[in-house]
Amino acid sequence: MKYISYYKSPIGNILLASDGNNLTGLWFEDQKYFAKNLANDVKKIDLEIFNLTKKWLDLYFKGINPDFKIPVKFYATDFQKKVWQSLLEINYGSVVSYGELANRLHTSPRAIGTAVGKNPISIIVPCHRVIGKNNALTGYAGGIFRKEYLLKLEHINLVRKQ
């Protein structure tokens, strides 16, 4: 059984998913790979993990860096888990390039891009903080306008790749 809840953000409705204890998904309703890993057997319910996540999101969207962590669980390949775990190490207000992340994890930028693009827990697992070469604002499954919004919220101003 998986559980879901919804959150209304300034940049679109968000679907939250949980296994009952951990956050397992956070997607914008229209994003690529939206809720792809949800089974048919889901139940809308009010869980403590959802309340905690919504509190975190409320602070974040007010431009405040939440000072607490959300328990997350990844259902993915070992490589994807490794990449997504490394995203959790990118501090609020900071960015890292696909190339830098690839060097850290001893793989290719393309492999990093593929894994980052399939991150099932947007915002909290901050894939929006991964950028292209020369600080280019590229790629985001939730839409480039959202990536730009999230980075500006964290006081990071980059230019879109033309």
The catalytic site residues sit at 127
**Other residues' Cβ atoms within 10 Å of the Cβ of residue 117:** 14
The Cα 25–Cα 59 span in angstroms is: 19
Q: Are 140 and 127 in contact (CB under 8 A)?
A: yes
* Buried/exposed 72-96: b ≥16 CB within 10 Å, e otherwise: bebebeeebeebbebbeebeeeebb
CA 105 to each of CA 52, 58, 83, 109, 129: distance values in angstroms, whole numbers, following the listed order: 31, 32, 8, 10, 16
